[in-house]
Structure 1
């Protein structure tokens, strides 16, 4: 992985911040830079980090250069306004009435009856050799 002179200068400045995450990321990229890229495990051992850490920051640098080393924002907590809006939506949502539930139960009963009738017709067709009820359903004439 090759670095421009400007990138190298920025990374070297970042390494001066000894205890920061940005300094560690800069050290990782600098250790991986050059025409002959050292093995990730050796870079990890020399910097006393996990090989996955080296992989992550090397990959992010390759993908987005210096911008890839920035912290990604964490998902934010919902604000009080978001919570209030959600509560208001729940309070103003229409209640499901008992008639809706009764309609649903009736529809389920009708479907069950139709499925039972269909099973009877299919069984009759099997017994009659399929002449009375074709396998792909009744054909409409028209």
Structure 2
């Protein structure tokens, strides 16, 4: 188990981050883990105190020892890089919320604004992404329906119990 040694400046920063309302809860918890480890507690003691797994304490203890304060920040997530920039997102939002083409319903106007704002529908959902003719769909007349197989029942002759005797 690696020993955590803090400078006065690191200790003050960790305490401030752990208490600050604007800090993410994950970062605040990591700060509390490091502060507990710096107090000489074992991984198990810190885990019980914070209500987390000892493996989690060990992970953040080792990261802090290896990388210092930088080790407490989230690492980049796996996956490809973003294909749409923040500027493109802003253009789409402005176009969607502030412009409305003539002769368009509310939904259609938002969809067409978003599509025209970025030049292609890549950032918007489209119904059919494949080129060429759409596959045939069944119309409501072609589809079998359970109620079409049975004759309609005449309910006019049915009366509620007691209705003919001045009841309900």
How many residue pairs get matched?
Answer: 79
Aligned mate of 1:70, from 55, 70, 73? 73
Structure 2 Cα separation of the partners of residues 2 and 55 of structure 1: 15
The Cα offsets for residues 92-141 of structure 1, whole Å up to 9 and x where unpaired, read as xxxxxxxxxxxxxxxxxxxxxxxxxxxxxxxxxxxxxxxxxxxxxxxxxx
| Displacement after TM superposition at 1:66 (Å) | 0.2
Structure 2 Cα separation of the partners of residues 50 and 60 of structure 1: 16
Tell whether 2:37 aligns with 1:61.
no
Partner in structure 2 of residue 128 of structure 1: none
The Cα offsets for residues 40-82 of structure 1, whole Å up to 9 and x where unpaired, read as 111100000000100000000000110000100102336669x
Aligned mate of 2:25, from 20, 29, 47? 20
Normalising by structure 1, report the TM-score.
0.51
Greater helix fraction, Structure 1 or Structure 2: 1
**Closer/same/farther in 2, CA of residues 77 and 48 from structure 1, 3 Å limit:** same
Aligned mate of 2:53, from 50, 53, 57? 50
Normalising by structure 2, report the TM-score.
0.43
| Displacement after TM superposition at 1:5 (Å) | 0.7
Residues 19-38 of structure 1 aligned to structure 2 (within 5 Å) = 20-34=25-39, 37-38=40-41
Q: Secondary structure at the match of 1:38?
A: coil
Q: Secondary structure at the match of 1:64?
A: helix
* Structure 1 spans left out of the alignment, 5+ residues: 82-142
The CA RMSD over aligned residues, in Å, is 2.0
Structure 2 Cα separation of the partners of residues 66 and 78 of structure 1: 26
